[in-house]
C-alpha cells in the first residue's frame, strides 16, 4: 500500500512538473529577450551582420539562448518519457531503490544512462532494485595461454576498466608464459581497486587432456569446465570471459543479472548465433547435441556454489564420456560439452539477451541483436529489444577483425579504440571504495613525498621512481640457450623513431636479442603491424620485444636497459645500442672469446671497439682489414671522435689496429665502451634519464666492482647516422637540463663513495681533473 502511495505521489509531482516546465521556459525566454529594459529582436533579418542592431555580444547571447532552449526541450522530452513509463508501471512495483545501488537489472540501458539516472525501460524509482552495491567486488575468470592471448587479454581488460565503477577481482587461469607477462603487466599498471590471482593452467591439463579437441584453442579451450574445482571454494559466483571479448558497457550490469536466476539455474549464457548446432551447414555435418541453436560459451555467468552442490564435475564428465563414444572429439572445445549437459538438463540455464554476446563470426545471426547502427561516432546501437546500448562484442572467428559483417567497420573501430587506448588513463581511483593495502604503491607514495617539489631538478628525481607499465614478450619468443654455456644475448633499447634498425640488426646478429621498446599504446600496435609485415622479423623467434609504455617527459634510457637485461636467458649479454650494427659473425666470435677469457670464473668486461660512419649508405666492412682501409680513407671514424673523444679514447684504437690478442685497458673518466659481461652484472642507475652519463655511470660501477676491461682485437661495431634525438637537443639547448645532470653526477659519485669506500675516491679525483 505504501509503495502504491509513493508511486501516486511521484506521478502527481511529475505531472505538475510537466505542466510547469513550458510556462517557466517561455517566461525565461521572454525575460531573456530584453536588453537594458528594451526588447531584443530575434528576427532573422536583424540577426544578420549588416543589421544596425547586430553586435558580437548580442550574437553570443542569442546563441546561448538557443542552446538553453534546446536543453530545456530535451529535459522536457526526457520527463515525458519518464512519466509515460511511470504511468504504465507504477502500480506494479513494490520495492524502493537502495541508496547504494547504481547498477540495475539486465537490459536497463548503457552505463551513460545509468550515470544520468535515466534508465530506458525501467526509469521509475520504484522499479529500481538493490542489485549491485557501490563497492561490491565483481569477479571475472579468464583462461589465457601464450603470447598472443596475453595481448588479447590486455584489450579485454582495458574495455572493462574503461566502463567499470566497481572493484574488480580477475582470476586468470594461465600457463607459465601468460602468467609471467600478465603478472608483470598488472604489477606495473598499478590500477586501484583491481586484484589479480593466477591459477596454473599447466597443472589442470590432466583434468581435461583425456578429451580429444579439434578446436584451435587446444587443451586450454577445455579448462572452463573445471572452474568449480580450480577457483577458491568460497567464491560463489563469477563471470567467465573468452580473451576475444570487448565490453561496451559497465560489467556491473552483467553482474546484476545473477539476481535474475531462478530455481536451479546456475549457468547464464547467450544463444549461439550461428547454425552450427542445427547441423545444416554442410552435408553429413554432425554436431554435438544441443538445445535448439545451442549456447555460446564466450560469456558465461557461473553460480559456483550451486554448481558444486549439484556435483558439476561428475555431471559434465559423465556427459562427455558418453558423447565421446559416438562423437570421438569436440569441435568447439568446452562449448560442445556445456551444450550436451544443457540438452539433458535445460533447467540449468538462464538465457541471456543476445546483446551480452554479439558473436562476430561468419554467417551468424548477430545482426538480429540490433536493428541499425544509428550513431557511429557515439558507439550507440539500437537493439532488437527496447533497451539501448551495445553490451559485449565477441570476435569468435579465427579471422577475428577480418570477419564478414555489414557493420564490421563499426565493431572494428570500437575494438581499436580500446586496443590503442592509453592504459595509464585507467589508473583512476574508485572514490568511496576502500582499496586493499598495496605495499608497492605505499612505498612509491612515501618516496615521492620525500622529494622537494620546489627543487628545480624535481622532475629528474621523480622519474627515478616512476613505475612504467610494462608488457614483456609482446611477440612470440622461443629460444633454448646453447648447451655449452657460452651463449650471448644482444641487449638494446629503442623508441619508435629507431624501428627501421631492427631488420638490419637481425641480419648482422643471428643470436638471441632482448629489446626494450619505449612506446605509447597506439605506437605498440603500429610496431606490431610493422613486425608482422616483416619477413625478417617474423622468421626470428629468438628476439624478445618488451614494451615499456610511455609516461612522463623524459626518455627512461636506463630503465629500458634494465628491463631488457633482466629478461636475458643466456649466461652472457652484449650491452649495445640500437644505432649500432655489429660486424658479421660477431655472435660466434664472442662465444669463443667467452671461453678464451674464462668469463664464467672471472670478472671481465669484454670491449667491442666502436666506430661510426656519416654515410647513410655504407658498404659494411666484412673484415678488420677492410675496416682499417675505410678508416684510413675517411669513410669510417672512431666513435664520437669529432664530439666526445674521451668516451672511447681508453680503448686505445692505435694499439687495436695491430693487436692480434686481447689486451687490458684501465678505466678513465667518462669512459663508456660497449661491453660483453655476465648476466649477473650490476644494473644501470635509473637517476640518469634522457641524454648524458647513462652509460658512463654503469662503466664506473663495473670498475668499482673490480671488473677488468679487455679489448677484443678482432671485434667491431659501427654506428649508423640518424637525426639527433629529442633528448640530446634538450641537453644542448636547455641550461637547466645541464645543471641538473651535473647535480645528479655529483650525487651519484657521492653514493659510489658511500658504497665502495676509499677505492671510489678516484672517481671524484678523476672528475675534477678531467
Q: Is residue 189 a contact partner of residue 170, using CB atoms and an 8 Å limit?
A: no
* pLDDT value at residue 70: 59
Q: Name the DSSP class of 110.
A: -
Q: Per-residue pLDDT tens for 446-457?
A: 777 777 777 788
H or E stretch including 228?
helix 227-230
Cβ-contact 482, 559 below 8 angstroms: no
Residues of the chain scoring pLDDT < 70: 1-130, 280-282, 362-363, 366, 370-389, 397-407, 437-439, 724-726, 728, 731, 765-770
pLDDT for the residue numbered 664: 97
C-alpha cell at 359: 558473436
pTM of the model: 0.79
pLDDT for 200 equals 95
C-alpha span between 429 and 193 (Å, rounded): 7
pLDDT of residue 377: 41
Distance of CA 174 to the CA centre of its chain: 17
Burial class (CB in 10 A: 0-12, 13-18, 19+), 364: buried
pLDDT computed for residue 67 by the predictor: 59
pLDDT attached to residue 682: 95
Radius of gyration of the chain (CA): 33
Confidence at residue 662, expressed as pLDDT on a 0 to 100 scale: 97
| 701 contacts 675 by C-beta, under 8 angstroms | no
108 dihedral zone (left: phi>0; alpha: psi -120 to 50; beta): alpha
Task: Assess contact for 639 and 721: CB atoms under 8 A.
Answer: no
| d(C-alpha 505, C-alpha 493), whole Å | 12
Task: Find, among 444, 418, 420, the residue nearest to 192 by Cα.
Answer: 444
What confidence score (pLDDT) does residue 371 get? 55
Estimate to the nearest angstrom the gap between the alpha carbon of 425 and the chain centroid. Answer: 11
Q: Which three cell numbers stand for residue 117?
A: 539516472
Tell me the angle at which helices 56-89 and 2-32 cross, rounded to the nearest 10 degrees: 160
Residue 94's pLDDT is 36
SS3 245: strand
Contact 606, 590 (CB under 8 A): yes
The 3-class SS string of 553-564 reads CCCCHHHHHHHH
Write down the pLDDT at residue 35: 40
DSSP H or E run through 238: strand 237-241
| Other beta carbons less than 10 A from residue 612's beta carbon | 20
d(CA 520, CA 305) in angstroms, rounded, equals: 42
Give me the helices (H) in 464-585, please.
501-508, 521-532, 535-538, 557-566
**Gap between the terminal Cα atoms of the chain:** 92
Strand partners, 303: 237
Task: Give bridge partners of residue 169 from the DSSP assignment.
Answer: 139, 195
Helix, strand, or coil (residue 606): strand
Q: Supply the pLDDT for residue 610.
A: 95
> What CA–CA distance (Å, rounded) separates 286 from 279?
6
Amino acid at each position: 500500500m505504501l509503495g502504491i502511495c509513493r508511486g501516486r505521489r511521484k506521478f502527481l509531482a511529475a505531472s505538475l512538473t510537466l505542466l510547469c516546465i513550458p510556462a517557466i521556459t517561455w517566461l525565461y525566454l521572454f525575460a531573456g529577450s530584453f536588453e537594458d529594459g528594451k526588447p531584443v529582436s530575434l528576427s532573422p533579418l536583424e540577426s544578420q551582420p549588416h543589421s544596425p542592431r547586430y553586435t558580437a555580444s548580442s550574437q553570443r547571447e542569442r546563441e546561448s539562448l538557443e542552446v538553453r532552449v534546446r536543453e530545456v526541450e530535451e529535459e522536457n522530452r526526457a520527463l515525458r518519457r519518464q512519466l509515460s513509463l511511470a504511468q504504465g508501471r507504477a502500480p506494479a512495483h513494490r520495492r524502493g531503490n537502495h541508496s547504494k545501488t547504481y547498477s540495475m537489472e539486465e537490459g536497463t540501458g548503457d552505463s551513460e544512462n545509468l550515470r544520468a539516472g535515466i534508465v530506458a525501460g525501467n526509469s521509475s524509482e520504484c522499479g529500481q532494485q538493490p542489485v549491485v552495491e557501490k563497492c561490491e567486488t565483481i569477479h571475472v575468470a579468464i583462461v589465457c595461454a601464450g603470447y598472443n592471448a596475453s595481448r588479447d587479454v590486455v584489450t579485454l581488460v582495458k574495455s572493462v576498466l574503461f566502463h567499470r565503477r566497481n572493484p574488480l577481482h580477475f582470476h586468470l587461469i594461465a600457463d607459465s608464459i601468460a602468467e609471467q607477462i600478465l603478472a608483470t603487466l598488472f604489477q606495473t599498471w598499478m590500477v586501484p581497486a583491481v586484484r589479480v590471482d593466477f591459477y596454473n593452467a599447466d597443472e589442470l591439463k590432466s583434468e581435461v587432456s583425456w578429451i580429444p579437441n579439434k578446436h584451435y584453442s587446444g587443451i586450454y579451450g577445455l579448462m572452463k569446465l573445471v572452474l568449480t574445482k580450480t577457483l577458491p571454494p568460497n567464491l560463489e559466483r563469477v563471470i567467465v570471459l573468452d580473451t576475444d571479448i570487448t565490453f561496451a558497457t559497465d560489467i556491473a550490469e552483467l553482474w546484476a543479472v545473477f539476481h535474475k536466476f531462478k530455481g536451479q539455474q546456475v549457468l547464464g549464457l547467450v544463444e549461439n548465433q550461428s547454425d552450427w548446432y542445427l547441423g545444416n551447414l554442410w552435408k553429413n555435418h554432425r554436431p554435438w547435441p544441443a538445445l535448439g541453436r545451442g549456447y555460446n560459451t564466450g560469456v558465461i555467468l557461473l553460480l559456483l556454489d550451486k554448481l558444486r552442490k549439484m556435483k558439476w564435475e561428475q555431471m559434465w564428465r559423465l556427459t562427455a564420456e558418453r558423447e565421446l563414444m559416438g562423437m570421438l572429439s569436440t569441435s568447439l572445445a568446452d562449448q560442445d560439452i556445456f551444450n550436451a549437459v544443457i540438452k539433458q538438463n535445460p533447467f540449468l540455464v538462464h538465457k541471456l539477451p543476445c546483446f551480452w554476446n554479439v558473436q562476430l563470426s561468419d554467417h551468424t545471426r548477430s545482426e538480429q541483436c540490433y536493428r541499425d547502427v544509428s550513431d557511429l561516432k557515439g558507439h550507440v546501437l539500437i537493439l532488437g529489444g527496447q533497451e539501448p546500448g551495445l553490451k559485449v562484442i565477441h570476435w569468435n572467428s579465427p579471422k577475428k577483425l577480418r570477419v564478414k559483417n555489414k557493420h564490421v567497420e563499426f565493431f572494428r573501430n570500437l575494438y581499436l579504440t580500446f586496443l590503442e587506448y592509453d592504459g595509464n588513463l585507467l589508473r583512476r581511483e574508485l572514490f568511496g571504495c576502500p582499496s586493499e593495502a598495496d605495499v608497492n604503491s605505499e612505498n612509491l607514495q612515501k618516496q615521492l613525498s620525500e622529494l622537494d617539489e620546489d627543487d628545480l631538478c624535481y622532475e629528474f628525481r621523480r622519474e627515478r621512481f616512476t613505475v612504467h607499465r610494462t608488457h614483456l614478450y609482446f611477440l612470440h619468443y622461443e629460444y633454448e640457450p646453447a648447451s655449452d654455456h657460452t651463449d650471448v644475448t644482444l641487449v638494446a633499447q629503442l623508441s619508435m623513431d629507431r624501428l627501421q634498425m631492427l631488420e638490419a640488426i637481425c641480419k648482422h646478429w643471428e643470436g638471441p636479442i632482448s629489446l626494450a621498446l619505449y612506446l605509447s599504446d597506439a605506437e605498440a600496435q603500429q610496431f606490431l603491424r610493422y613486425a608482422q609485415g616483416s619477413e625478417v622479423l617474423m622468421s626470428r623467434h629468438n628476439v624478445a620485444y618488451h614494451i615499456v609504455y610511455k609516461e612522463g617527459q623524459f626518455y627512461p634510457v636506463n630503465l629500458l636497459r634494465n628491463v631488457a637485461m633482466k629478461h636475458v636467458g643466456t649466461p652472457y649479454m652484449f650491452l649495445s645500442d640500437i644505432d649500432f650494427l655489429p660486424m658479421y659473425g660477431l655472435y660466434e666470435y664472442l662465444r669463443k672469446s667467452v671461453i678464451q677469457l674464462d668469463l664464467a670464473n672471472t670478472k671481465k668486461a669484454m670491449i667491442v671497439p666502436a666506430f661510426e660512419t656519416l654515410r647513410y649508405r655504407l658498404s659494411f666492412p666484412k673484415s678488420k682489414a677492410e675496416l682499417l682501409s675505410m678508416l684510413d680513407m675517411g669513410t669510417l671514424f672512431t666513435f664520437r671522435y669529432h664530439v666526445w673523444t674521451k668516451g672511447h679514447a681508453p680503448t686505445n684504437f692505435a694499439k687495436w689496429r695491430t693487436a692480434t690478442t686481447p689486451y687490458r685497458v684501465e678505466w678513465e673518466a667518462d669512459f663508456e665502451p660497449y661491453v660483453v659481461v655476465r648476466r649477473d652484472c650490476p644494473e644501470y642507475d635509473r637517476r640518469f634519464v634522457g641524454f648524458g652519463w647513462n652509460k658512463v655511470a654503469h662503466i664506473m660501477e663495473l670498475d668499482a666492482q673490480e671488473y677488468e676491461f679487455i679489448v677484443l682485437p678482432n671485434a667491431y661495431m659501427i654506428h649508423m647516422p640518424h637525426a639527433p634525438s629529442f633528448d640530446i637537443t634538450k641537453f644542448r639547448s636547455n641550461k637547466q637540463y645541464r645543471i641538473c645532470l651535473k647535480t645528479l653526477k655529483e650525487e651519484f659519485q657521492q653514493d659510489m663513495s658511500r658504497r665502495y669506500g676509499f677505492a671510489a675516491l678516484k672517481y671524484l679525483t678523476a672528475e675534477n681533473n678531467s
